A and B are shown apart, each in its own frame.
Chain A
Amino acid sequence: MFDPLVSHEVDTRIKISRGVSRRTMLTVITVASGGLLLGVSLPYWAGTAAASGEDNFAPNAFIRIARDGQVTLVMNQVEMGQGTYTSMPMLVAEELEVDLAQIKLEHAPPDDKLYRNPRLGFQVTGGSTSVRAFWKPLRTAGAAARTMLISAAAATWNVETASCQAAEGEVIHAPSGRKLSYGSLVDQAAKLPVPDDVVLKDPRDFTLIGSSAKRTDATAKVNGTAEFGIDTKVPGMKIATVAACPIIGGKLRSVDESKAATVKGVIKVVRLDDAVAVIADHMGAAKKGLEALVIAWDQGPNAAFSTADMVQQLKDASTRQAIVAINQGDAGKAMSTSPRRIDAVYQMPLLAHAAMEPMNCTVHVRKDGCDVWVGTQVITRAQATAAAVTGFPLEKVRVHNHLLGGGFGRRLDVDGITQAVQIAKQVDYPVKVIWTREEDIRHDVYRPYYYDTLSAGLDDKGYPIAFSHRVTGSSILARWLPPAFKNGLDRDAVEAGAGAYSFDNVLVDYVRQEPPAGLTTGWWRGVGVTHNAFMVEGFVDELATAAGQDPVSYRRALLNKSPRAKAVLDLVAEKAGWDKPVPAGIGRGVAVVFGFGSYIAQVAEVSVAKEGRVRVKRVVCAVDCGQMINPDTIKAQMEGGIIFGLTAALYGAITLKNGRVEQGNFDTYQVLRIDEAPTIEVYMIASNEEPGGIGEPGTATIAPAVVNAIFALTGKRLRQLPIDTTELKSA
C-alpha cells in the first residue's frame, strides 16, 4: 500500500523530530459498568489527502481497565500476520506497567471518528503504518492511565505522588511498602482529570519495547481455535458460492438452474447483475450446484481483450504528456550534455494477492438491520457498502471484524462484501459467501501493470549527472482515495521513483493509463515502493555495469546524503561477504531501498540451471527501521516479505486472453514453496529514530537483488517480471 507521509517525512524530518503538532489528547469516558475507560485523541495530520475539515482532535482508541484489573485494548489496527496484535498492546503495556499477557484485545467496531488511523484519515490498516501511527498515541494513553492510577493511590494513602510508582499492575508506595492493585483504583482514577502532559518513559528504561515479546495470537493459531472471517458460525447460517462473469466487464444473461435444483443440499440460486450464486447447506453442495448451472454471459465490450492490448496501451500512453512528480535541477539539459546516456524500459505485470484465506463474507440481512462478519482492513467501508446495498442507515449495520488470513492489500477493498450483501439481501437467513480459489484469483483487484522508461546521463567516470524515470500505469489512489489523487498525479505510483539516491538533476513523472472498466487495480504488498524498487535498483545496477564499477561501491558513492541507507548497504555487504569471491555457479546481487520510513538492503545469491530455472539459495537482509518495537516481528516480516517478493519475481503474473484472466488456482498462479525457500539472514541496526514500517519494504527489495544476481552470473539483464526462464537457458 502507499505511504501517505513519505514525502512529508523526507521534506520536514527536522520539524517532526522537534515534536511539532504531535500532541496526543486524552479523555476519560464514564461507563455504566464502572472502571476506567480512556479514549485517546490523536492529532490529525493536516496534510492527509483525506482531510475532511472535521475537528482535528477526536478519540481514536480505547484502553479499558475493569475493577478486576483486566486491561482491554480495543484494536482498530487489524491482525493479518504482521504482528499488530502484539506490537500495539506492547506500546500500552510498556507505559502502563502491566504484563503483555494482562491485556485482552478486542476487534474494534466500525467508527472513523473513534478509531481512525491518523496517517490515512479513516479506520484502516495498511501502508505499513500501524506502529508509525500509534507509536506515540498508545504510549501516551498508557502513561496517562498509569499517572492517574498513581494519583488515585497517592490520594488514598495521603502521600505524595512522587513517592509512588507503578509496576506489574500495582501502585507501590515504596517508603511504607503498601500496594494497591489497578483494579482497586479504577473508580477513583476515573474521577480524576486527565493529565495535560504525561511523561513518557525514557527509551533507556524500556523493558518491553525493543524485546522480542511472544505473539499474542500464536496459541490460537497452532491449535485451530483462531477465528478468521471464513470460520464465522451463526445459527441458521447457510453457505453460498458464486461465479462472477469471467469476462472483464461482462454481465449475467441467463441461468438454467434445473440441474442444480436436484443437487442434495442446494437451497436457492441467486442472480446478480454480473454473477450468480448458489446457496446450500454446505460448501460442497454449493459448489456442486454451481457446477450444475448452465450460465449464459453477456460478454460485453472486452471479449477480445488481451495482455498484449493492455501493454500496447501503456506503451502508447508512456509517450503522452506526463505529470511531474519530482523535478530537481535540470535533468533534460544535464542529459543532453552528458558524455554517455543509458536508456531502459522496465515492466511489471498484473498481480493477484492469493491470500491463503479466500475471499469470504457472512451476512444476515434482517428486517430491522444487517450484520456482517468478515475480516477486513477497512471496516467502515465494509459498513458503508452494506448500508448502501440494504438501504439501512449506518447505525443499523453491525460489522464484526476477524483475524485476516492474509491481507496484502486485498482486504483494503470491499467488492466481496458488497456482493455478499447483494446475495444475502435476497434471503432472510444468514449466508456465508465463500469464493472458490479460482474466483478469488480471477476476480481479484490486481496490482497494476507498470510500464516504466528510465534514462541516465553519465559523466566521464560513469556517475549519473542526470536521472529520469517515467512511470506509466493505472492509478489506485484515483479510485481508492480520490482526494489524494491531485493534479493527475498518483503519489503512490511514483513513490521512491528515484530510489534512496539524491541525484543532482532528476525528473520523475507519471502517466495514468487505466485498463478497461471491470478490471480493477488496487493495493498490494508495497505497490509504489515495490514497483519502483525493481525499476530503479535494476537500472542503477545497469549504470554500475556501464561505469565498470562494483554494484556496492557504485551505490555507496550515490548515497552520500543518506547515511542510514549507506549503513544498511555496508552492513549487508559485510554480512554477505561481498568482498569475498562467490562460489562457482552462484551469482550475487544487491539492492537498497528506502520505503515506509525504513531502510533495507538485501544481497541475494542465486544459481541458474541449464534449462533456465532460477534458484535463490541465500538472502542476507539488513534493516534500519528506527526504534524497534518487537525485533522478532521485524525479522519475521523481513523473512516473509522476502518470500512474498520472491514469489512475484519468479512466478507472479496475471495475464488476459479473450477478456478473461488465464490463471485460476495454485497450479497456474504458482507461489513459492518450502523446497524453493532460500536461507534468510536478517540483521537489524539499533536506532532511536522514529519507527519505520516493516510490513512491506522487505518485499520491495528482493526482486531487484535477484535480477542483479542473475546478471552477475549470466550477463543477462532482465527488465521485466516475472523472470523469464526461457531467456536464461544455456545454449
Chain B
Amino acid sequence: MAHTLKINGGSYVIDADSDTPLLWVLRDLLGMTGTKFGCGMALCGACTVHQDGQPIRSCITTIDSIGDAEITTIEAIGSIPAGAQVQKAWLDVEVVQCGYCQSGQIVSATALLTTNPKPNDNDIDEAMSGNICRCGTYVRIREAIKRASVALATNAKG
C-alpha cells in the first residue's frame, strides 16, 4: 500500500510493503544514498536518521511505524544548527577516513548535541556507542563533538 513519508522537508508517496525498512526506501526508492547500510539489525548505526529529532536506526524502522513524523537524513542535517556545527567540527578535526560510517556518526552526534549541548565523555560514549567505525576514528569523533559543543555555545551567546 501507499505510505506518505515526510523526509527532509519534502513529502513522498511510497508504494511498498508496510514492513519495508525506511533505509531501503531512502536509498533504493528515493536515491538518498547518504544514509548507509551496515548491518540490518540496528547494531552498527550506519543507517541513523532523525525521526522528529530523535536518532533512529532506519534499517529496522518499518515505514508503517513512522506516521507523520519528520525524517531528517544526512542530506539535510546541515539545516539543523547542531548539525552544521558537527559537520564543521568533523572537517576541522579531520575525523573521516573511509567515511562510510560518518553519515550515521554525524546524525547521531547532532541528536546528542541538540538534546545535550554540553556532553561530557560519558554522555558522548553513551550516545555514540551504537555507531561503529572500522577505521577507528573514535578519538577524533570525541574531540569533534566537544569542539562542536563549544561552537554551539559560542553561537548561542553571540
New A-B contacts (10) at CB < 8 Å, excluding given A357-B98, A405-B36: A222-B87, A222-B91, A223-B75, A264-B16, A355-B100, A436-B40, A636-B97, A666-B41, A674-B129, A680-B139
Distance in Å: Cβ of A635 to nearest Cβ of chain B = 9
Scoring B25, B94, B95, B97 by chain A CB atoms within 10 A of each residue's CB, the highest score goes to B97
Which chain B positions have C-beta within 8 A of A230?
Answer: 33, 36-37
**Do A223 and B101 touch across chains, with their CB atoms under 8 A apart?**
no
A86 closest partner in B (C-beta): B94
Given contacts A674-B141, A674-B142, whether A356 and B38 have CB atoms under 8 Å apart is: yes
Given contacts A223-B34, A639-B139, A671-B134, whether A81 and B43 have CB atoms under 8 Å apart is: no
Which chain A positions have C-beta within 8 A of B41?
Answer: 437, 665-667
Distance in Å: Cβ of B71 to nearest Cβ of chain A = 14
Which chain B positions have C-beta within 8 A of A226?
Answer: 99
**Do B135 and A632 touch across chains, with their CB atoms under 8 A apart?**
no
Which chain B positions have C-beta within 8 A of A349?
Answer: none
Which chain A positions have C-beta within 8 A of B68?
Answer: none
Scoring B23, B73, B75, B139 by chain A CB atoms within 10 A of each residue's CB, the highest score goes to B139
**Do A434 and B73 touch across chains, with their CB atoms under 8 A apart?**
no
B132 closest partner in A (C-beta): A671
Does A718 have its Cβ within 8 Å of any Cβ on chain B?
no
Which chain B positions have C-beta within 8 A of A671?
Answer: 132, 134
**Do B133 and A282 touch across chains, with their CB atoms under 8 A apart?**
no
**Do A283 and B28 touch across chains, with their CB atoms under 8 A apart?**
yes
Interface residues of B in 50-70 (CB under 8 A from A): none
**Do B97 and A81 touch across chains, with their CB atoms under 8 A apart?**
yes
Complex Cα gap A673–B105 (Å): 12
Interface residues of A in 247-290 (CB under 8 A from B): 263-265, 281-285, 287-288
Complex Cα gap A82–B139 (Å): 16
Which chain B positions have C-beta within 8 A of A643?
Answer: 133, 135-136, 138
Contact with A along B119-158 (1 / 0, CB 8 A): 0000011101111111111111110000000000000000
Distance in Å: Cβ of A373 to nearest Cβ of chain B = 13
**What 4 A-B pairs have minimum CB-CB distances, sorted nearest first?**
A224-B34, A643-B136, A405-B100, A221-B99
Total number of residue pairs linking A and B with CB closer than 8 Å: 199
Given contacts A222-B91, A222-B106, A283-B24, whether A408 and B134 have CB atoms under 8 Å apart is: yes
Contact with A along B16-28 (1 / 0, CB 8 A): 1101110111011
Does B78 have its Cβ within 8 Å of any Cβ on chain A?
yes
Distance in Å: Cβ of B22 to nearest Cβ of chain A = 9
Partner of A284, one of B20, B44, B73, B133: B20
Given contacts A233-B31, A355-B134, A640-B136, whether A222 and B94 have CB atoms under 8 Å apart is: no
The size class of the interface chain A forms with chain B is: 35 or more
Does B80 have its Cβ within 8 Å of any Cβ on chain A?
no
Which chain A positions have C-beta within 8 A of B111?
Answer: none
Distance in Å: Cβ of A87 to nearest Cβ of chain B = 13
**Do B98 and A405 touch across chains, with their CB atoms under 8 A apart?**
yes
Complex Cα gap A492–B25 (Å): 45
Which chain B positions have C-beta within 8 A of A4?
Answer: none
Which chain A positions have C-beta within 8 A of B126?
Answer: 675
Interface residues of B in 1-49 (CB under 8 A from A): 16-17, 19-21, 23-25, 27-29, 31-41, 43-44, 46
Partner of B96, one of A218, A227, A355: A218
A-B pairs with beta carbons under 8 Å apart, 22 shown: A80-B98, A221-B99, A226-B99, A281-B16, A284-B23, A284-B28, A285-B16, A285-B20, A287-B40, A288-B17, A405-B36, A405-B98, A405-B100, A406-B98, A434-B37, A436-B40, A437-B41, A437-B44, A639-B137, A640-B97, A666-B41, A677-B136
Given contacts A406-B98, A640-B135, A643-B138, whether A264 and B17 have CB atoms under 8 Å apart is: yes
**Do B98 and A222 touch across chains, with their CB atoms under 8 A apart?**
no
Partner of A356, one of B29, B95, B100, B141: B100
Does B113 have its Cβ within 8 Å of any Cβ on chain A?
no
Does B74 have its Cβ within 8 Å of any Cβ on chain A?
yes
**Do A218 and B94 touch across chains, with their CB atoms under 8 A apart?**
yes
Given contacts A283-B24, A285-B17, A675-B125, whether A215 and B96 have CB atoms under 8 Å apart is: yes
